[in-house]
Amino acid sequence: MSKHLIDLQNISKSFGNQLVLDEMNLYIRENEFLTLLGPSGCGKTTTLRIIGGFETPDVGKVIFDGVDITKLAPNKRQLNTVFQKYALFTHMTIAENIAFGLKIKKKSKSYIDDKIKYALKLVNLEDYGNRYPDSLSGGQQQRIAIARAIVNEPKVLLLDEPLGALDLKLRQDMQYELIRLKKELGITFIYVTHDQEEALTMSDTIVVMNQGYIQQIGTPEMIYNEPENAFVADFIGDSNIISSTMIRDELVEILGVKFPCVDKGFGENKPVDVVIRPEDVEMIVIPESVTEEEIASANDPTRFGRIQGVVTHLIFKGVHYEMEVMANGFEWLVHSTSMFAVGQKVGINVDPFNIQIMNKPESEDEEAAGVEE
């Protein structure tokens, strides 16, 4: 396991009366691609700016490689920042832009020339040194901004929504570029975004934030498949979040119907939130000829679905169909490669492993902090 390169210890930060970060604790490993993910105003950019030295926390410490750098100026830290607005100098060539930081450090001409060549090759823009920023596309300008940062050989690269201004295709291309660069450079990436797909695609670790609190830290797979609270489940991808009752270990009542599950330790007859991803909802067609009595008397409760409903909406999304199903007073979101027509009567089953149980927060403060009992 890689060592901790950065430790944020009990970080709090306010702007006026607004508390932006509240006693945040977070460590970042060497060579990790860590993404701070959350809605606008959640504190992710403030966290990045504190790491970069552009903001000073009101309380707490920033430890870098074992040294307290809380009050150290940005240019004294072993890191570089790439912003959404590329901040390239339009009157300078690409080569001059890349060389800017090295010239300030009074590096030799031969050293600078070698670094320019290396950086341009790394971002696949080898023949662009003599061009000016205005002649480049948005994606090319972003790659130059990254090249300018990496020639300084930072231990950490901070990226503040760097792909936000690009169109969808360019953004996807740049995601793969950043993954490649991270592997080739062997440095730590700390990335800020509100784009869930971007975070899931690129990250080793995702830190989900809301209202100044960390809601969950984990791998993309863990964050998606095992959200710890309703905020994470709702923010990362699509979810069916249903108020339910935990009858006992491995049995939950959802919309008045008992479903087997695999979760334990929630107590008996306890209110909980259940998360079921749209792609995990299994649907079967119920022929018009089947009566309510036949459904009720079926020996196998999954034969006609544990819950029955009617398809109310249908959209073709390319890789799957997106449907809404009204069942037991709840509008279920379903993703399936099979099409079920609007008006079709269907049964709903869910594999026990695909039912995620979460404690209900007992107050608004507890909900914001993502605190569990």
**Contact between residue 70 and residue 61 where contact means Cβ atoms under 8 Å apart:** yes
Q: How many distinct structural domains can be found in the chain?
A: 2
In a shared domain, residues 176 and 321: no
Beta carbons of 159 and 191 less than 8 angstroms apart: yes
Give the HSE-up count for residue 142: Cα atoms under 13 Å, Cβ half-sphere. 22
- Does residue 372 fall inside a structural domain? no
Residue 366 lies in a domain: no
* Any domain includes 300: yes
Under 8 Å between Cβ of 55 and 47: no
Token digits for 213? 């609190």
Give CA separation, 228 vs 77, 82, 249, 259, 371, in Å.
34, 31, 18, 20, 9
Q: How far apart are CA 200 and CA 37, in angstroms?
A: 10
Q: 315 in a domain, yes or no? A: yes
The CATH number of residue 49's host domain is 3.40.50.300
Over its C-alpha atoms, the chain yields an Rg (Å, rounded) of: 25
Q: Are residues 186 and 321 in the same domain?
A: no
Q: Is residue 365 part of a domain?
A: no
What pLDDT score was predicted for residue 125?
86
| Any domain includes 84 | yes
In a shared domain, residues 216 and 244: no
Q: What is the pLDDT along the chain (373 residues), one digit of tens a residue?
A: 568 899 999 999 999 999 999 999 999 999 999 999 999 889 999 999 999 999 999 999 999 999 999 999 988 888 887 776 667 888 989 999 888 888 888 888 888 888 888 888 888 888 888 888 888 887 788 888 888 888 887 889 898 887 776 677 777 877 887 888 888 888 899 999 988 888 998 999 999 999 999 999 999 999 998 898 989 998 988 899 999 999 999 999 999 999 999 999 999 999 999 999 999 999 999 999 999 999 999 899 999 999 999 999 999 998 899 999 999 999 999 999 999 999 999 999 999 999 999 988 765 555 555 644 3
Please report, as a single letter, which amino acid is at residue 133: P
Q: Specify whether 168 is located in the same domain as 244.
A: no
Q: What's the pTM value of the predicted model, to 2 decimals?
A: 0.82
Identify whether 25 is part of a domain.
yes
**What is the extent of the structural domain holding 181?**
4-225
Structure confidence at residue 204 (pLDDT): 94
The rounded distance, in Å, linking the Cα atoms of 110 and 302 is 73
Q: Which residues pair with 168 in a beta bridge?
A: none
Q: What is the CATH number of the domain that holds 251?
A: 2.40.50.140
| pLDDT at 342 (0 to 100) | 97
Helix/strand/coil for 178:
helix
| pLDDT for position 104 | 83
Q: Are residues 299 and 341 in the same domain?
A: yes
Query: CB neighbours (10 Å) of residue 1?
Result: 5
**In terms of domains, do 78 and 44 share one?**
yes
Shared domain check, 294 and 206: no
Residue 364, pLDDT score: 56
What's the Cα-to-Cα distance from 160 to each of 125, 193, 290, 362, rounded to whole Å?
Answer: 22, 7, 57, 34
The full length of the chain comes to 373
Do 33 and 174 lie in one domain? The reply is: yes
C-alpha of 12 from chain center: 22
CA-CA distances (angstroms) from residue 310 to 13, 23, 99, 296, 333?
A: 50, 47, 63, 17, 12
Contact 359, 272 (CB under 8 A): yes
Q: Are residues 112 and 248 in the same domain?
A: no
Does 83 share its domain with 164? Answer: yes
The CA-based angle 221-245-290, given to 5 degrees, is: 90
CA distances from 101 to 74, 104, 209, 331 (A): 13, 5, 33, 56
Same domain, 210 and 293: no
Pick the last residue of a domain from 225, 257, 278: 225
Specify if 162 maps to a domain: yes
Are 269 and 127 in a shared domain? no
Last residue of a domain, one of 198, 225, 252: 225
Considering 225, 256, 283, which residue would you say is the last residue of a domain? 225
